[in-house]
């Protein structure tokens, strides 16, 4: 029997190389290798509004992400691609799952802790309850696997706990999902502060590579990426975190092992290594950008999203009807 694979990306900030390596590339690879499986992929715009967004920018980025997913190589015939807010059952199930999630569990979420420290004032209540909505995104479609980066592991564990709790109380109903976290590239680090995750919400753009960066920007950012003074190509995340991050990026982009990159460059200077890495990134990202430019203006993108909405919507509608019956909501 085929499995169902579900994942999403928030349309906040620009898409980064971290999103590409940690999530999108993995998704594309799974699709190539798992011919019987079904792939549901959405733009998590409801999650974006947990922090303040400018409406026109939010709408633009939502479409940008949908187009980028396809430009990165997803097979459109095999992907149910949709926009989260167009399927109202996500929020409906999110509320039900909030009613099966404890305050203590949400208080332990590190993403919430990190984001609320950064914002200190006006933290929304939806930023706090966000993991219950994320659980709904996944459980609504009975996902077997959820490909994500390392930072989402904790949310996936909570999703599993919520599903098990619900199943124990009401009888088996949700598939308990498993995270799929890549071996290489699950946590791409900031180019300037290699002890911090590369993040699109960062205010300084030297720390991340955007999937929309042009050739000059890519080369400049790699050239100025922080390394160390040891002057030896070696994979040592503790003592050479900046270099280890660049090696990880290189291995991931080229689909090679870390050891293969280290071996190839062991006698090279950092400068040569960085030049080759920058070129590999340019060779990967520029063709993606070309495909994105064609898609973003096309009717094809709109048609794919309409079709995604219809397929996901039908599944979600049926699942929610059964869910309400199980809980005792409504008349029948
Ligand atoms: P923010 O940086 O604003 O918190 P985000 O990029 O983590 O946002 P999403 O866009 O929703 O949030 O993330 C989409 C996917 O990309 C998730 O699966 C996440 O784990 C993955 N991801 C994000 N950043 C990285 C990173 N630096 N390395 C690897 N994977 C990442
Ligand atoms: N919470 C994730 C984005 C996200 C997601 C999902 C990922 C929302 N819903 C469902 C996988 C499955 C984030 O912040 N990166």
Question: What are the structural domains, with CATH classification, of the chain?
Answer: 4-186+298-327 (3.40.50.620), 205-293 (1.10.240.10)
| Angstrom distances, CA of residue 160 to CA of 91, 136, 146, 178, 220 | 18, 11, 11, 8, 42
Place of tokens 């592991």: 153
318 C-alpha to ligand 2 centroid (Å): 23
Ligand closest to Cα of 191 equals: 1
pLDDT score for 332: 79
Pocket of ligand 2 from Cβ distances under 6 Å:
6-8, 10, 44, 47, 134, 137-138, 146, 148, 152, 155
151 CA closest ligand 1 atom index: 20
- Of 156, 95, 101, 92, nearest to 316 by C-alpha is 92
Mean pLDDT, rounded, for 292-304? 97
Report yes or no: 123 and 116 within 8 Å, Cβ to Cβ: yes
Tens digit of each residue's pLDDT (9 = 90 or more) over 105-157: 999 999 888 888 876 678 899 999 999 999 999 999 999 999 999 999 999 99
Report yes or no: 83 and 43 within 8 Å, Cβ to Cβ: yes
Model pTM score: 0.94
| Angstrom distances, CA of residue 207 to CA of 75, 224, 297 | 31, 9, 30
173 C-alpha to ligand 2 centroid (Å): 22
For the chain, the residue count is: 332
| Angstrom distances, CA of residue 57 to CA of 13, 48, 64, 204, 297 | 9, 11, 10, 19, 16
137 CA closest ligand 2 atom index: 10
Report yes or no: 212 and 180 within 8 Å, Cβ to Cβ: no
Distance CA 101, CA 268 (A): 53
Report yes or no: 51 and 94 within 8 Å, Cβ to Cβ: no
Residue closest via CA to ligand 1's atom 16 equals 19
Question: Which strands form 79-83's sheet, in the order they lie side by side?
Answer: 79-83, 38-43, 4-9, 145-147, 178-180
E strand intervals along 173-286: 178-180
In testing the pocket of ligand 1, which one of 11, 16, 22, 134 has its CB within 8 Å of the most ligand atoms? 22
Distance CA 77, CA 7 (A): 17
Tens digit of each residue's pLDDT (9 = 90 or more) over 35-69: 999 999 999 999 999 999 999 999 999 999 999 99
16 C-alpha to ligand 1 centroid (Å): 8
Pocket of ligand 1 from Cβ distances under 6 Å:
9-10, 12-13, 18-19, 21-23, 148-149, 151-152, 186-188, 197-201
Place of tokens 């720390």: 207
CA 133 centroid distance within chain = 15
Report yes or no: 247 and 262 within 8 Å, Cβ to Cβ: yes
101-110, 113-122, 236-245, 262-271, range with the lowest pLDDT: 113-122
pLDDT score for 170: 97
| Angstrom distances, CA of residue 328 to CA of 81, 102, 149 | 32, 21, 36
- Of 252, 226, 272, nearest to 24 by C-alpha is 252
Q: In a 10 Å sphere around its CB, with 0-12 CB exposed, 13-18 middle and 19+ buried, how is residue 271 labelled?
A: exposed
| Angstrom distances, CA of residue 232 to CA of 229, 264, 268, 269 | 8, 13, 8, 8
Mean pLDDT, rounded, for 78-106? 98
Flag whether pLDDT at 93 surpasses 90.
yes
19 CA closest ligand 1 atom index: 16
């Amino acid at each position: 029997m085929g499995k169902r694979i579900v994942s999403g990306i928030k349309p906040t900030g620009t898409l980064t190389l971290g999103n590409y390596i940690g999530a999108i590339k993995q998704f594309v690879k799974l699709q190539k290798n798992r011919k019987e499986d079904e792939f549901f992929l959405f733009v998590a715009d409801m999650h974006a509004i947990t922090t303040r967004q400018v409406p026109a920018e939010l709408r633009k980025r939502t479409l940008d992400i949908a187009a980028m997913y396809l430009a990165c190589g997803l097979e459109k015939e095999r992907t149910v691609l949709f926009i989260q807010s167009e399927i109202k059952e996500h929020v409906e199930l999110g509320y039900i799952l909030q009613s099966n999630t404890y305050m203590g569990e949400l208080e332990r979420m590190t993403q919430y802790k990190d984001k609320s420290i950064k914002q200190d004032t006006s933290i929304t209540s939806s930023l706090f309850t966000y993991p219950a909505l994320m659980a709904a995104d996944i459980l609504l479609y009975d996902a077997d696997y959820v490909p994500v980066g390392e930072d989402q592991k904790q949310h996936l564990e909570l999703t599993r706990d919520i599903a098990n709790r619900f199943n124990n109380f009401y009888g088996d109903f949700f598939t308990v999902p498993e995270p799929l976290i890549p071996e290489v590239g699950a946590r791409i680090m900031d180019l300037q502060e290699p002890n911090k995750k590369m993040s699109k919400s960062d205010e300084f753009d030297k720390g991340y590579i955007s999937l929309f960066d042009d050739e000059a920007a890519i080369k400049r950012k790699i050239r100025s990426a922080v390394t160390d003074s040891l002057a030896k190509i070696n994979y040592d995340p503790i003592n050479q975190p900046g270099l280890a991050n660049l090696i990880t990026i290189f291995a991931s982009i080229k689909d090679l092992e870390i050891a293969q990159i280290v071996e190839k460059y062991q006698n090279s200077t950092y400068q040569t290594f960085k030049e080759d890495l920058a070129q590999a990134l340019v060779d990967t990202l520029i063709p993606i950008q070309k495909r994105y430019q064609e898609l973003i203006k096309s009717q094809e993108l709109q048609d794919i999203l309409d079709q995604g909405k219809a397929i996901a919507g039908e599944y979600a509608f049926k699942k929610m009807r059964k869910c309400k019956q199980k809980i005792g909501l409504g008349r029948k």
